[in-house]
Amino acid sequence: MTTRPDTAARTTVAPGAFAPVLEMRGITKRFPGVVALDEVSFDCRQGEVHALVGENGAGKSTLMNVLGGAIRPDSGEIRLDGAHASFRHPLAARRAGIGVIHQELSLIPDRTVAQNVFLGREITRHGVLDGAAMRRATAQLIERLGLPTDIAADRLVRSLSVAQQQLVEIVKALSVAPRILVMDEPTAALAEPEAEALFRLIGQLRAQGLTIVYISHRLTEVLRLAQRITVLKDGRIVGTLAAAEADVGRIVRMMVGRDIAQMFPPRAKEGEIGPMVLRLAGVATPVLHGIDLTLRAGEIVGLAGLQGSGRHELLRVLCGRSRVTAGEVEINGHARPFRSPREAVLGGLGYLPDDRKQEGLLAGQSVRDNMLLTVRALASLFAGRESAARRRGISISDIARQVDVRVPHLGVKMGQLSGGNQQKALVARWLAVAPQILVFSEPTRGIDINAKSGIHHLMRTAARSGKAILMDSSELPELIGNSDRIVVMREHTVAGELPGGASEAAVMELATR
């Protein structure tokens, strides 16, 4: 992407239009266990593009959900043109002139473009749907916005590419003539020429007096388009910069600057790292490309990257849930990728998913049954419940003690354990089948501060016993503190590698760009 300033986007708005059209003051929102927004104040002037940046989990989406009426704040107020406004439902926000384009597409695939644009507010004539009028209005809007003409009003949304669908979302949002438009990662699915078309469009909209809140991780883009940039971190506003005074480095520093308050177990020393057990070279899938990754016994490798950078997809490849279309894969001596999770388990790779509730535990069953799940799965279909473990010489109570699960006895239902204990039980499940590689996805999500350290120590102990650990995490302190090496992903490929203990800024820089 070029950094040549786009003069169209920087056209100054008419003087006198500097009163804030939108003000959010002191917005606070708490969810169980976390403060998502803490006294956040944010304002927008008419006709400006105001960028909102921050790491994953900084609070950008929550703030925009409050603005868009999807969430009610615990305290604070919103003012539009100086007048107090409160929204009980996204519709109320829309009627007040706020349009939101979310990151996830909200279109109905089996309906046409025009039908989607007018969903919920269809035009009727004498009580009958006026399809022609809706198609005409949609086509006019598409033309007025200068969008490519192959997005015809009567094409099925399903037949459009993701980029085209994103443009339809924009048409839909603009068709109600909002005064403020929130765009959440609009260029995430766009190639460069399409993104350029979008920037021209934004310039046009600004000239027509529209105010735009632009959320994006692509800082060069942000610097190009925005007049002001507000940085959020851990639910608080760090500061607001004029784009003219900002540069990527300064923004990144504002985004991440924090001290690592947690203590982590010491990293692996040179002699403790063993032979290579996993190697991916030039691997590609329908989603990823150019993936190079190695794992050696005894080390913990952290996987970093923003949401949408492809981390999740890479993990799916490792545990046999995604198809590999190119490249070399060698795992534990297998010269080809795993074709199913069962193959992965048999091949010595264990996976702890990020969504414990959905993909990890059986909440209604006992801790013992949860721990023995994989052992039994690998045993014969006709084996008795206890014989599977006994035959392998595994004592589940020994392993439970090893991982330090705090339960009165192993018959307690899994769903009643704390997050930390659940995670430890899941680790025990894998230790029982002794895999060579352990893949953790968001290992300490939903676990309170005190228990987090326990999980980190468990991982380091497992590594020291000769296993290779891959840790995918959105929490930078954890990644930096607990990894021997950090692999950073960006836009569905591996952007680079850093040694453990690298600065947060270095990681973020590789991850954004």
Partner 1 sequence: MRYSLARLLRLLPAAYWILVVCFLVTWALCERFGQGDFLTLENFNNFIARSVALGIVAIGQTFALLVASVDLSVANLISVTVVTAPFLMQGDPALILPAMLGLLAIGVLVGLVNGLIITRLRVSPLIATLGVGLLLQGFINASFGHLPGKVAPGFQSLAYGSVGPFPAPLLLLVGVTVLAMAVLHLTRFGAHLYGVGGNAEVARLSGIHTGRVMIGAHMMSACAAVISGIFLVSRLGSAAPWVGTESAYDLQSIAVAVMGGTTLSGGRGAIGTTLACVLVFSLIDLLFNQMGIDSFLKQVLRGMIVIVAVASYAVRERRAVA
Q: Can you give the binding site for partner 1, defined by CB under 8 A?
A: 70, 90-91, 106-111, 115, 119-122, 124, 127-129
Complex with partner 1: residue 134 or 210, whichever CB lies closer: 134
Q: Distance between CA 276 and CA 337 in Å, rounded?
A: 16
Complex with partner 1: residue 1 or 176, whichever CB lies closer: 176
Instruction: Give the closest residue to 468 by CA, choosing from 295, 285, 261.
Output: 295
Q: Distance between CA 305 and CA 471 in Å, rounded?
A: 12
Other beta carbons within 10 angstroms of residue 405's beta carbon come to 23
Complex with partner 1: residue 122 or 192, whichever CB lies closer: 122
List Cβ neighbours of 409 (8 Å cut-off, separation of 6 or more).
Answer: none
CA dihedral for 380, 384, 389, 391, sign (positive or negative)? negative
Least distance in Å: CB of 128 to partner 1?
5
Least distance in Å: CB of 316 to partner 1?
18
Least distance in Å: CB of 132 to partner 1?
12
Q: Distance between CA 306 and CA 491 in Å, rounded?
A: 9
Complex with partner 1: residue 66 or 352, whichever CB lies closer: 66
Least distance in Å: CB of 312 to partner 1?
21
Complex with partner 1: residue 13 or 92, whichever CB lies closer: 92
Least distance in Å: CB of 318 to partner 1?
24
Least distance in Å: CB of 413 to partner 1?
25
Least distance in Å: CB of 130 to partner 1?
10
Instruction: Give the closest residue to 449 by CA, choosing from 405, 418, 480, 470.
Output: 418
CA distances from 512 to 251, 433, 489 (A): 11, 38, 9
Least distance in Å: CB of 505 to partner 1?
38
Other beta carbons within 10 angstroms of residue 382's beta carbon come to 6
Instruction: Give the closest residue to 342 by CA, choosing from 358, 323, 320.
Output: 320
Complex with partner 1: residue 169 or 442, whichever CB lies closer: 169
CB 345 within 8 A of CB 292: no
Complex with partner 1: residue 99 or 435, whichever CB lies closer: 99
Instruction: Give the closest residue to 161 by CA, choosing from 119, 138, 194.
Output: 194
Least distance in Å: CB of 406 to partner 1?
37
CA dihedral 423, 462, 304, 215 (to 10 degrees): 10
Complex with partner 1: residue 35 or 70, whichever CB lies closer: 70
Complex with partner 1: residue 81 or 122, whichever CB lies closer: 122
- Give me 462's structure tokens: 């497992």
H helix and E strand count, the chain:
18, 21
Least distance in Å: CB of 71 to partner 1?
13
Complex with partner 1: residue 62 or 65, whichever CB lies closer: 65
Task: Give the H or E element holding residue 136.
Answer: helix 131-144
CB 88 within 8 A of CB 72: yes
Say which DSSP state 56 is in: T
CB 504 within 8 A of CB 304: no
Q: Distance from CA of residue 108 to its chain's centroid?
A: 23
